[in-house]
Structure 1
Amino acid sequence: MGQAFYVAGTGTDVGKTFFSCLFMAKYAESNGFRYWKPIQTGAAGTGDTELVQKTTNLPDSFFLKPVYEFQTPASPHYASKQEGKILDPKFLLTALAKERKTNTLVEGAGGVFVPWTEDYLAIRGIGESNLPVVVIGSTELGTINHTLLTLDALTSRFVAVLGFYLVGPENSLQIDNAETIQKLGGAPCLGVTNFPKQKLTPAEFISFANHQFDPNRNVIDTLQNPDDEI
């Protein structure tokens, strides 16, 4: 029996997919984790599932297909409306429930207050899925506010937050950002990883992940012993 977990970002393009690439590159094969983005918008370009697979060079068996896939690069409620499709939260939650006790990284769409439908927010779905959450924030200026708001929104709704992880460009603020968020946010900092300074091949990225991501095993050990953290 495993443990699926939800990767929630403090906003759009904050680094959830980069974190997912790092995690899958380092732990997919050794710990049997799969990647799943249940709601994919902006699929007219390269979808996140395809991006993670190309980056990590993992075979198809490590990936689940999106439940909902929209071409429009927008919030799920808007994308589905534009394309004349119905996104049913109950159907999505049923799919999530089937994977809850498997080793699956579930990447969310946008921030936690992104609407899945016109009257159903992502944060409600996260809570009703009963999945523990890892919050992904940026290393850059503004992350203290954004990450604390996200942590507060989740914990005030009794969502199990395993911790937060910062990703992004290396800068002089990132250590203080991580320490301040941990001090004020009521959740442990699971780590900080900076973007590589150049484009990497899959083999180079795997090496990068093995050395630069989760060096103290905070993420994987927390996932394997969730009762110690929740």
Structure 2
Amino acid sequence: MSQAFFVAGTGTDIGKTFFSSLFLAKYGKSHQFRYWKPIQTGLLEGDDTDFIRKITNFEDFHFLKPVYRLRYPSSPHLAAEKEGLEIDLKKLRLEIANIRNFPVIIEGAGGVFVPLTKSYLSWQLIRESNLKVVIVCSTELGTINHTLLTLESLLQRMIPVVGFYMVGPKNELIEDNIKTIQMFGGVSCLGLTTFPSQKLSSQEFIEFAKSSFDTDRMVLDSLLDIGDDFDS
């Protein structure tokens, strides 16, 4: 069974990197997970791999290098074009094939309909990989519509979604958001983690992840098809 999985978001800046950092902080050491963002755009504004490296303070082993590191903050097809490049889909497919049987968190770029090239969308790469997917969605207003659209687009294309995980600020909408998405989307909520109330050191963040992320192990067990006999 493949251990690598995709983290897909309902949009840009929705919380995929926060989810990935929580997952790595909690399971990186115990299960030897690594983080990989194959296509990083917007380097002028920040680098997700460096952010997670700093917030966890984990060794280089836990981070795979992006295939593409692009400066412009846009979808990959445009960011590559501005640097005189075109995303090589064969290269991406090969890289995914090489790591699919290892425990790797693969964070996508933006939402699932983001163009990787002028004729190829992100969901197509996810489908061709045949890897499990966790959808990350916001706790805030609008998340029902965005999450249901993302779920429908993936499930209708026979992409194996294991469920959705909600991240964001605390608010009074969360309980109903989760219930409504589950009812109409037909998949389970794998959990909820709200943003910490203050900036945390690396050690504090790891402790926060261990206590606040995937508290009933639904994410881990859904991905690895394991039961309670595997210690986290």
Q: TM-score range by the shorter chain?
A: over 0.9
1:72-128 per-position Cα deviation (integer Å, ceiling 9, x unaligned): 111000000011012111210111111111100000000000000001000111101
Where 1:147 maps in the other structure, the secondary structure is helix
Say if 2:56 is the partner of 1:56. Answer: yes
Say if 2:220 is the partner of 1:220. Answer: yes
Percent of aligned pairs sharing the same letter: 57
Where 1:13 maps in the other structure, the secondary structure is coil
Partner residue of 1:115? 115
TM-score calculated relative to the size of structure 1? 0.96
Q: Which portions of structure 1, spanning 4 or more consecutive aligned residues, are displaced by more than 3 angstroms?
A: none
Where 1:203 maps in the other structure, the secondary structure is helix
Q: Separation in 2 of the partners of 1:175 and 1:62?
A: 34
1:130-170 per-position Cα deviation (integer Å, ceiling 9, x unaligned): 11100000000100000000000000000000110000000
Once the two structures are TM-superposed, the CA of residue 45 in structure 1 deviates from its matched residue by: 3.5
Partner residue of 2:229? none
Partner residue of 2:17? 17
Q: Separation in 2 of the partners of 1:143 and 1:7?
A: 17
Partner residue of 2:210? 210
Map 1:35-184 → 2, pairs under 5 A: 35-184=35-184
Once the two structures are TM-superposed, the CA of residue 43 in structure 1 deviates from its matched residue by: 1.5
Where 1:11 maps in the other structure, the secondary structure is coil
TM-score calculated relative to the size of structure 2? 0.95
Partner residue of 2:230? none
Q: Which runs of 5+ in 2 are unaligned?
A: 227-232
Of 178-187 and 71-80, deviating more is: 178-187
Once the two structures are TM-superposed, the CA of residue 44 in structure 1 deviates from its matched residue by: 2.6
Equivalent pairs, count: 226
CA contact (8 A) 2:135 2:161 kept: yes
The residue type paired with residue 175 of structure 1 is E
Q: Which runs of 5+ in 1 are unaligned?
A: none
Q: Separation in 1 of the partners of 2:92 and 2:69?
A: 12
Once the two structures are TM-superposed, the CA of residue 2 in structure 1 deviates from its matched residue by: 5.2
Partner residue of 2:201? 201
Once the two structures are TM-superposed, the CA of residue 224 in structure 1 deviates from its matched residue by: 1.3
CA contact (8 A) 2:2 2:131 kept: no
Q: CA RMSD in A?
A: 1.0
